[in-house]
Amino acid sequence: MSADADSDELRTLAVAAAQRGAGVCLRPLSEHDDVVTKGAVGDLVTAVDRAAEEAVRQVVLSARPDDSLLGEELPSHTGSSGLQWVIDPLDGTTNFTRRIPFYATSIAVRRDDGTWLAAAVSAPVLRTTWSAARGAGAHVETDSGREELPVHLPASSARLLGTGLSYDAHHRRRQVRELSGLLVDYTDMRRFGAAAIDLCLVAQGSLDAFVEDDLAVHDWAAGALIAEEAGAQVRRPTARDATMSARWR
């Protein structure tokens, strides 16, 4: 299969894969389940993370066996199609282990030239899936139906900034010091603990901006495209600037 796939067909596949992974993430942890630190203190992984990624991969490869996969928890898979799927099977693992409902399965697909084509983020406890296809806008699906993003919200003087903090203590201290500067143009901040959801909330119009400078590609891949297709101004990390940001102009 070539990289010439229709973006909306890819979005449909991304939604199916994200929702399959999110369904796995509904499995509650017991006190006997292992919660492992995989890097810095606080950076957690569970058997559910890995099972969710397996589920996402099965959906993608069943439909497009020649595509490449780059996941957070499992070894990468190299295909020949010119498309790569970037998977975060459980964004917000700490929230998941503490029964805080802000976690999601996130997946996005890009061409070899780096062009992002489609994405989906599914938050199972919130019963919400956000998605986008390049050039076709972004949408949110809930039990109430499907809406185009951004949604219609009442006007107010509130301006909300979303952000996150690094697992690295030195980096985290710097982020806290710089927070007052980030908040100059905002009335308050929100810290949900899952960058994919934060970016989707910008797309939704619920947050006015999101800024974080210590994320991996699987953290922001899907949410960035969804925010961009909703009409937000998006800046992805580069070799010179590690900041991921999305904001309404």
Q: Helix, strand or coil for residue 64?
A: coil
Residues 138, 210 within the same domain: no
The domain of 69 spans 3-148
Last residue of a domain, which of 117, 148, 179?
148
Digit-coded pLDDT (tens) for 175-193: 999 999 999 999 999 999 9
- Establish if 155 belongs to a structural domain: no
The pTM assigned to this predicted structure is 0.95
Check whether 22 has a pLDDT greater than 80: yes
User: 193 near 166, Cβ under 8 Å?
Assistant: no
Last residue of a domain, which of 127, 148, 169?
148
- Establish if 177 belongs to a structural domain: yes
pLDDT at residue 101, rounded to an integer: 97
Mean pLDDT computed over 19-29: 95
Domain with 186 in it: what CATH number? 3.40.190.80
Residues 117, 141 within the same domain: yes
- Establish if 39 belongs to a structural domain: yes
219 annotated ligand-binding residue:
yes
pLDDT at residue 3, rounded to an integer: 52
Check whether 128 has a pLDDT greater than 90: yes
Digit-coded pLDDT (tens) for 214-236: 999 999 999 999 999 999 999 99
User: 196 near 220, Cβ under 8 Å?
Assistant: yes
User: 218 near 106, Cβ under 8 Å?
Assistant: yes
Digit-coded pLDDT (tens) for 39-80: 889 889 999 999 999 999 999 999 999 999 999 999 999 999
What is the band of 88 on the pLDDT scale with cuts at 50, 70, 90? very high
Residues 182, 222 within the same domain: yes
91 annotated ligand-binding residue:
yes
- Establish if 153 belongs to a structural domain: no
pLDDT at residue 207, rounded to an integer: 98
Digit-coded pLDDT (tens) for 136-173: 999 999 999 999 999 999 999 999 999 999 998 999 99
Give the sign of the dihedral formed by CA 174, CA 179, CA 181, CA 182: positive
Residues 182, 137 within the same domain: no
Last residue of a domain, which of 85, 115, 148?
148
How many domains would you assign to the chain?
A: 2
CA 166, 170, 236, 5: dihedral to nearest 10 degrees? -50
Q: Which two tokens stand for residue 200?
A: 């989707």
Residues 199, 112 within the same domain: no
Number of C-beta neighbours around residue 239 at 10 A? 5
* In the chain, % of residues over pLDDT 70: 98
Residues 227, 119 within the same domain: no
pLDDT at residue 227, rounded to an integer: 98
- Establish if 86 belongs to a structural domain: yes
Residues 167, 144 within the same domain: no
9 annotated ligand-binding residue:
no
88 annotated ligand-binding residue:
yes
CA atoms within 13 A on the CB side of 215: 31
Residues 209, 113 within the same domain: no
